Amino acid sequence: MRVAVGTAIIMGLMNGKMDSPPTTAHFLIGEGCDYSCAYCSSKDARIARIDWPEFPVEKVLASSFSGFGRVCLQLTSFGLEEAIGLIGEIPLPVSVTVRAEKKDDVRKLFSAGADRVCVPLDACTPEISEKVCRGGFVKQLELLEWAGKEFPGKIATHLIIGLGETERESVELLKKLKYSGVYAGLFAFTPAKGSPLEAMQKPHIGAYRRVQIARYLIMNGYVDFSYNSRGQLLRLPEVPGEVFMTSGCPDCNRPYFDGSPSKPYNYPRKPTEKERTLALGQAKLYEGQSIYKAQKLIKVKAEYSDKIERIKITGDFFIHPEEGLEEIEKKLVGCPVEKGEIMARIADCLTRFEAFGFDANSLTEAIMGAVA
Ligand code: SF4
C-alpha cells in the first residue's frame, strides 16, 4: 500500500521531521492510473507532488493511528474494490476520494463503512475539465448533485483553483455545490515536475484568498457577489482567520500540500492574528493585464490594490534613452489607481525622455486597462 510521506513519518513507518504534522492519514489505493490528468505526474511513485512510499498493507494496519482523526483513501483509476475491502479494517472514520462513475460505486463505499465520499471535480468548468482532466465534468457534477441529496453531509469534492477559471466561475460552481449539499475543499494549482502543466504558474495569491473568502461566505448562505470586468471578486468583507485554513473533511489539514510553510495557500492550523491580517491584505491584491494599440502596441502587466504594487510595461514602441521605461515603471509603483495621478506621473517622466509610438495619454489608457 502506498502511504503519503508525512503520514508514513507520523505512523513510524519511516524517519523524518515535520513542521506541521498531518491530522488525516493519506493512503493511495490502486496501482497505476489511466486518467492522465495534465496537472499530475504519476511517475516513480510521485503523485501530485507527493511521495508515496510503499509498505505492506499488514504493516500499515498494525501501525499506530494515534495523532490522526481520519484516514483518506485516495483512489487512482483502479482500486475501488481494494478500498471497499480495506475500509472495515481501519480504526478511524474513512474518507474515500474516487472519481466514481456510477451511483452504485458511491452506495458500495457507504455500505462498506465509508464516512465520506469525495468525487473530485478538480476543474471549475467543463471546458477546463476537457483540457486538463479528459472531461467528464458534467457527469461527475450530476453524480455529486445526486449523492449530495442521497447522503446529506457526507459528500465532498475538490476544486483546484488556478487552472484558468475566473473567480466568478469558481464562485458560481461553489454556489451550485452548496445548493446540492456538497462540501467543497480548495487546492491551489501546483505545477508538478514532469507533468504536462509543469511550466504553468501557481494562482495569484490574491485570487486564491478571494475564492477562499467567497467559499466561506457561500457556506454561510451569502450569494450576492460583485465583480470587475475580469470576473475578479470585489468588496469582500473581513472574515475570521479559520477561513484561510485547509478546507475539506473534518480533521483534514493536508500540510503544505499546495504551498510552502513560508508561502501557504492553506494554513494547516489556525492562523495567528498576524497571518490573518496578511491573508486579508493579500485578498485585496489584484493582477491585471492589458494590450493597448496606440501608434505602437503597449502591453501592461500590473499587480495592484488601491495603488500600483508592481508593473511591467512592454511593447514595440521606443523610448530614448531606454532607461526611461524603467524610470516610468518605478515612478508608477505606489501610485494610487487613479487616472489623473497615473497620467501626471507619466507626463512628468516624459519631460526627460523621448517616446516614439505612445504618449502620456495612451500609456495611461493602457495601464487603466490593466488596473480598472
Ligand atoms: S478533504 Fe481531505 S480527507 Fe476529505 S477527501 Fe479531501 S483529502 Fe481526503
| Ligand 1, residues at Cβ distance < 6 Å | 24, 70, 72, 95, 97, 118, 156, 158, 185, 248-249, 252, 254
pLDDT of residue 45: 47
Res 50 pLDDT > 90: no
- Least confident residue range of 85-94, 133-142, 157-166, 319-328: 133-142
pLDDT band at 36 (very low <50, low <70, confident <90, very high): confident
Question: What percentage of the chain exceeds 90 in pLDDT?
Answer: 85
| Mean pLDDT computed over every residue of the chain | 94
Contact assessment for residue 152 and residue 115, using Cβ atoms and an 8 Å cutoff = no
Distance in Å, CA 328 to ligand 1 centroid? 48
Candidates 196, 117, 204; CA nearest to 161 is 204
- Domains assigned to the chain: 2-282 (3.20.20.70), 287-371 (3.30.390.50)
- 114 CA to middle of ligand 1, Å? 12
Q: ω before 53 within 30° of 0 (cis)? A: no
Measured in degrees and rounded to the nearest 5, phi and psi for residue 36 equal 55, 45
pTM score of the predicted model: 0.93
Question: Facing residues of 185 across strands?
Answer: 158
Q: Which of 92, 97, 266 to mutate to test the pocket of ligand 1 (most atoms within 8 A of CB)?
A: 97
CA 178, 124, 249, 237 dihedral sign is negative
- pLDDT tens column, 210-258: 999 999 999 999 989 999 999 999 999 999 999 999 999 999 999 988 8
Q: What is the pLDDT of residue 310?
A: 98
Taking CA atoms only, the protein residue closest to ligand 1 atom 8 is 72
pLDDT of residue 49 exceeding 80: no
Write down the residue that cell numbers 494515534 correspond to. Answer: 66
**Residue among 3, 23, 24, 117 whose CB has most ligand 1 atoms within 8 A, to mutate:** 24
> Using one digit for the tens of pLDDT, what is the confidence trace for 172-218?
999 999 999 999 999 999 998 888 899 999 999 999 999 999 999 99
**pLDDT, mean of residues 340-349:** 98
Q: What DSSP letter does each residue of 316-332 carry, written as one string?
A: S-EEESTHHHHHHHHHH
pLDDT tens digits, 289-305 = 999 999 999 999 999 99
Atom of ligand 1 nearest to the CA of 96: 5
Q: How far is CA 144 from CA 106, 137, 158, in A?
A: 10, 10, 11
Q: Is residue 326's pLDDT more than 80?
A: yes
Q: What is the pLDDT of residue 135?
A: 77
Residue 345 near residue 268, CB atoms below 8 Å: no
Query: HSE of 370 in the Cβ direction (CA atoms, 13 Å)?
Result: 28
For residues 272 and 278, give the distance between their C-alpha atoms in angstroms, rounded to a whole number: 10
**Strand pairing class (233-234; 94-97):** unpaired
The whole-number pLDDT of residue 289 equals 96
- Taking only Cα atoms into account, the Rg of the chain, rounded to an integer number of angstroms, comes to 24
User: Can you spell out the DSSP letters for 267-305?
Assistant: BSSPPPHHHHHHHHHHTT-EEEEEEEESSSEEEEEEEES
Nearest CA-CA partner of 136 in 257, 259, 36: 36
**Identity of residue 53:** P
Q: Given this model, what pLDDT does residue 47 score? A: 56
Query: In this predicted structure, what is the pLDDT of residue 20?
Result: 87
Task: Give whole-number Cα distances, 348 to 16, 134, 136, 344, in Å.
Answer: 58, 53, 55, 6
The grid coordinates listed for 52 are 508515496
With bands split at pLDDT 50, 70 and 90, how would you rate the model's confidence at 357?
Answer: very high
- In 3-state terms, the chain is what percent helix, strand and coil (to 5)? 35, 20, 45
